Every structure is written in structure tokens, then in C-alpha cells.
Amino acid sequence: MYNPSVSGGSATSVSGSRLFRYEVKGLRQNAETDKMDNPIRKSGSVFITVPYSRMNQEMQRITRMGGEIVSITPVNEADTNGQSAPAATQQDNGKSMTQATPKAKKKDVPVNLYKPKDPLIAKVISNEPLVGEGGSGIVQHIKIDLSGSDYHYVEGQSAGIIPDGTDEKGKPHKLRLYSIASTQHGDDMDDKTVSLCVRQLEYQDPESGETVYGTCSSFLCNIEPGAEVKVTGPVGKEMLLPDDEDAKIIMLATGTGIAPFRAYLWRMFKDAEREANPDYQFHGKAWLIFGVPYTANILYKEELEELQAKYPDNFELTYAISREQQNAEGGKMYIQNRVAENAARIWEMIQDPKTHTYMCGLKGMEDGIDAAMAAEAEKNGINWDDFRKQMKKEHRWHVETY
């Protein structure tokens, strides 16, 4: 029998003293296990109780011994009474791998205050370009006046926009959803505005070769201050921030996928926001990995770097600039390459139940990020798909891609 006492190490903090029970199968006899007093079982599961502070080391040890970790479940401290917990009955793969932290209070989240049949008629306050000289495409920061309405929202939600005009059938255009780029107080801190980050969609028609522009994105990117705009929503509960001020927030963004993360970071670190939110004084860890084609396409670059300089211990900013940087193989540096470079560190962070990972932007980045994390999980004897699904159940893995 594998002896869990060899994991050793004493926890010196509250988080480090939490216990987790590993269900392990497939341990094989080798030079390391030969040193133990008891034989390894040839079949069935072995249950090992491990303090949080030793989780990574134990995963690596189990992998060296040929074991496969079937599940990781938190041990109730009340049941352990300060001692190793007794072996539990066999658990299913669907059991919790980590202990989830409370999610945002969805009951307090406004949804569909204005619907497509009866949208809010708001006015545009400003429409500012975000792409610098030498950048690719057109991206605009659009601030909309909500005065006189009861439209309100929280960070991580989306707003619907119905563009003017009709489609080829003479019917009103359908709404398009855009991630909100401002905090719930708005850019002016008066609770009367909402801001969007919009890229004009542009592509070549495969048959005619003509350039086609997106209906709603073109409407917004070219709208003039003072013009009316039909707004619906807000919608969405997938990308909400946890209330925990000590949380670790990993943000993976491409292009305009920065929008919800701008809202998060402004809420966390902007002076006016911290003053307006005495009940939310973030002092955890926020890490943004941001993928863009050129430096000129780093949206909100100046403000992001100001926050990083002011809060170096709490905010980390990592760029993946595909047309200007190279990955380890000499190819273009995409966000999935940055994730692969940092996979070991990300893996260690997501073992902490206080860590939430958010992904927003182009859907194409998902497979590369999954591949990078799957390789790292395999090194630790864990199936990434199962682990990711478990994090999603615990409301710690959030994805909004298009």
C-alpha cells in the first residue's frame, strides 16, 4: 500500500492547511516504491490525503510512480479533527477536484431590462478610435448616455444594439451583442453611461471578391455623437467577477475581447472606482494575457500600463503580438503560444480554488489554449478535459468567444 505520510511538509497558513483527498489508480512497483514497507496494490484505488501546500509535489510524485489521479475532493476539516482523513469510498470522476469559491450573486444581476421589441432609445456621447497608426482595422470606443432610464448592468455583461435601417427583406435589422467595456458606474462614474469596444467587421466575399462590411459594427463605428441608438439588455451571467477581494483572476483576450477585462481592471484598480466601492478593495492577483497583431492594436494600452506600474504586485500584463514577436519555434506569437510558455505557472494557479480564468475574443484561440493546458495537465497525471469541466461546474472557468 502506498504510504501517504511520505508527502510530508507542514502547512503554515490557513489555505495551506486545507486537506484534499486524491483517488489514485495504477500505481506500479518501482525503485521508489520499493523503499516503502508495504506493497502496491495491483488493482483498485488508493486514497491519499494531502495538504494544499503539497498538492503539486504530490501530483508529480504520483505521476513518477505511474499512477493516475482519478479525482481530487476537499476534505471537511470538521471530519478530520486535525488528523489524516480515513479512506473514503470510491468516487466518480465527476466529483469536485477543487473546492469552489462563491460565485457572483446572480440574483442581483439585471437581465433584459430592455427587450428588442421595446429597446431603450439612447444617445451617443462620444466615439473615439482605439487603433494607433500602423495598426490593423478599425476599433472604436463608444460611450452611450443612459440618462432618464433604469438601464443598469454589472461588469461582465453584454448590451444589445439594433442598427438603424432594414435588411434585404425590408425587415428591421436584428440586434447584435457587444461586451460592455465599462464598469457599472460608467466611464464618467455617474451611473449614467455604458461603453462598448467595437471592431468594424470586414471580409472578402468568397464568390465576388468584394469587400463586405458588418451591418451593426459599421453602424456603430461610424455613428456620430448626439445620434440616437437602440439599446437592449443587459444580458449575460457567464463572465461575472467573484466578490472575493483576494481572488486570482486570469484573463485571456484577443482584440475587442479586452472589453470585459477593461471593466474588471478599472473596477479593481482605478482610483475613482476604489473610492466608490468601499466594499470591494481588490488586493488579489490579476493577470491579463492579451493577443493582438501589432503594438498599435493594443487597445487601452496607456491605461493598462499605468495600472500595471501602479499595482505591480497585483496586476500583471503580458502581450502576444503576432506580427512582431516570435514563438519558441520561430513562428508568429499568438495568445496560445504565450499560454504554452506559462502553462506550468497557470496550472499551479488554477489549483487554488480562489483562481478564476476568463477567456474572451476569437473562438479560434480555444483549441490552442486547451492543447497547451492539456500537455501541462498530463505532466501532472490529470486529464485536462475533465479538469476544465470541473472548473466550469465550480464557476471558475468562463468563456465568451465568437
What residues act catalytically?
178-179, 360, 400, 402
Separation between Cα atoms, residue 364 and residue 374, nearest integer Å: 17
35-38: long-range contacts, CB 8 A cutoff, minimum separation 24? 36/2, 36/3, 36/6, 37/3, 38/1, 38/2, 38/3
Helix axes 365-379, 343-350, angle to 10 degrees: 80
C-alpha closest to that of 293 among 262, 252, 325:
325
The order of strands in the sheet holding 248-254 is 315-321, 285-292, 248-254, 355-361, 397-401
Partners of 180 in beta bridges = 196
Backbone angles phi, psi at 386, to 5 degrees: -65, -40
Kindly state the helix (H) or strand (E) to which residue 336 belongs, with its residue range.
Answer: helix 335-341
Binding-site positions for NADP(+) read: 179, 199, 256, 292-293, 322-323, 332, 361-362, 400
Cis before 119? omega within 30: no
Kindly state the helix (H) or strand (E) to which residue 401 belongs, with its residue range.
Answer: strand 397-401
* DSSP string for residues in 94-134: TS-SSPPPPPP-GGG----SBBTTB-EEEEEEEEEE---TT
Cβ partners under 8 Å of residue 170, min gap 6: none
Q: Are 216 and 196 in contact (CB under 8 A)?
A: no
**Number of Cα atoms under 13 Å in the Cβ half of residue 33:** 21
Binding-site positions read: 179, 199, 256, 292-293, 322-323, 332, 361-362, 400
SS3 5: helix
